[in-house]
Chains A and B, each alone.
Chain A
């Protein structure tokens, strides 16, 4: 490269054309922008979103109130109270997750010996009033019931890696 070539390139707008070539090349490429919420990005089956409590196919709650999730939770987001259930088994009388405290680490799911507490792929939710950040046992079970098919499929997909 000498000074003469550089001088010529300045008059030929070489740098500009070089830059525009990238623009024009991408101009005709397929767009990567997703039109959320109409369109969505692909999610891993391991995505950690809203929590749910699951049931067995016969409708029995899975949770046995062992409190391992409460113990492992690094954000102290889980509060459990337990007692002897109607059928004489160990059951929760209260199972609260504070979504403001939760850091979505997924440790609760890993600690659970019966796959009762899971983090679903749901990440689109909001709260309008104070107190709605507390996911009570009823709300968690309702999420579990509603998305049972999705949760089961995710669990099945992850099974080979466990």
Chain B
């Protein structure tokens, strides 16, 4: 170990460093700041901005700190006259071509070049010649460009090559003529691509929807959590006078590192969509009219009070907060119904008793990149959870064998070990399972595995899982929505058992785990305790004739996949109350009473991500129109129907109650069922809509204008699903 340690001296202070570390990493650790533009912790070292020049004893010239490895006895001077002179000279060269349009530049006030120019720039320019001008490029609806401002740090280029694996930006020509561009006219299409906005140290790449609408210094920064996928990416929302102006990542090494998906970054636009429901509305003899909250709430309470308990149904989105889920469960308990569900995209409920307490990722998010083999079953991984796809890519680049079994093949920008596609998911898995178990076929699936011969790829997948120390079978959302999900899961469990791999689930929405733990399920209560009695699930509920149906943040046409024709079925129900942030044709057709609720930005709450991490957030924006946080609406409805102990004052009260009720849950995905699974035959063919497109996952994303203008979203509207 001691061989790995070298002793160096920084500005006279003795410091221990690891062999192979760069000077910049050591100085950053001890807090001796060296100015830099091209260096970024998460990217490779380019050393092309030359801003980090420092003096090193015995070196004839100043050396770039980001690209100089430490050596025994090295003496580094970061603030010596020679170092400062070199840094000032670099700054002068950078400013030769950089325009002085800071007052109109969106980066003004948070610009690395502007900040460093304060410390290292001259007050008067010595340069009198013409400045370079570069034509702006149109690289899509998310990122605006002002290429004249570019200082050629190439962070965006390295991001494309190293992080997304989809190198869309590059440099052409050299020296004075060097330009960053897309080679041919093209948009930047990766689902993480907008991170180049944060990476760009100057105002060359900026946030297009946010363009010119606010200044960095006038906004307040509020921490929040992404509501769009099971990762729970940490975000900062920048708010001006109660209005969310933009969203940026909040560093969290154990979840999203320093990246967020474009979906998380731009979905805030939907908060101010024209389709927001501004005030409660009621349908009276076929006509909609607006009404005030008091009247609306008493109408809702009346409908629930007059309904027969067993004839009440409640459907919630998997992205409701833990608090909303808990209140809904308590309300259902008081009304005497177990007909509550959040699994509105699931089709196969036959084996639901063997579901885990909550669908767990199987490993911590950060450990995903340390797996040796990953077998992704039924998932369009990059679209379902872009941040997790990035982690999986990292593990693949580190040498892991990553294989896929899905109805369609997708691009992943790393070497895929084996890819199965084209036929039914069950059939694909059956081959892998047979290859994994060899001759000792478990009874449970004997019927499934008859007359199957594993292909070369299927054998290879089983082999890769067996050989790996850390192997993971990751069941995705496509599998979760599959009509033969129970067979898919049993086969995955058999594969995992036989190969010593773990099982992980990617779950729907942002809070499937929280909804499970709160007991927003027909067959299970808080913390996974089973419920007694018959109950209707998301698939059977709407086929019944119910007295009252409550929808929370559900759009029947776009969100419900568990049953066909949900809109028509809802329209036939006696009374449908929809708590929704948005109004749509489908909701107007299906519901009888619309109550406007806030989006994630306007309510406080808690999401539990797929790894089981509880993350609470506060409301950060002023509510739009008459909308109210959903937990408050549910609480008042609870009071009106005289539910006991419904006197919550804050959402923290609700959270603490459910947290205490759930206690410590040990996540466990092990499959304990022994139901015999037969061949699913017809159910194995997945329908077209089983894979939700990237920018259609929830109401907010569907209404974010910028996202809907992307090439990815346009492919969906034109029917090209490749």
Contact = CB atoms under 8 A, between A and B. Distances in A.
Interface in B71-124: 103-104, 108
A71 interface: yes
Interface string A55-84: 000000000111110110000000001111
Nearest to B217: A71
A63 B708 CA distance: 33
B572 interface: no
A84 B103 contact: no
A64 B211 contact: no
Interface residues of A, number: 16
A123 interface: no
Contacts of B108: 66
B104 A64 contact: yes
B212 A84 contact: yes
Contacts of A82: 212-214
A67 B212 contact: no
B218 A70 contact: yes
Contacts of B410: none
B370 interface: no
Contact of B103 (A81, A83, A113): A113
A83 B211 CA distance: 7
A64 B218 contact: no
B104 A68 contact: no
Nearest to A70: B218
A114 interface: yes
A9 B211 CA distance: 86
Contact of A83 (B104, B213, B217, B218): B213
B218 A90 contact: no
B246 to A, nearest CB: 14
Interface in B174-229: 211-215, 217-218
Contact of B104 (A66, A70, A71, A81): A66
Interface in B111-145: none
A5 interface: no
Contacts of B214: 82
Contacts of A90: 104, 212
Interface in B410-465: none
B212 A66 contact: no
Interface string A84-113: 100001110000000000000000000001
A66 B203 CA distance: 14
16 contacts: A64-B103, A64-B104, A65-B104, A66-B104, A67-B215, A67-B218, A71-B217, A71-B218, A81-B213, A82-B212, A89-B104, A90-B104, A90-B212, A91-B212, A113-B103, A114-B103
Interface of B: 103-104, 108, 211-215, 217-218
Interface of A: 64-68, 70-71, 81-84, 89-91, 113-114
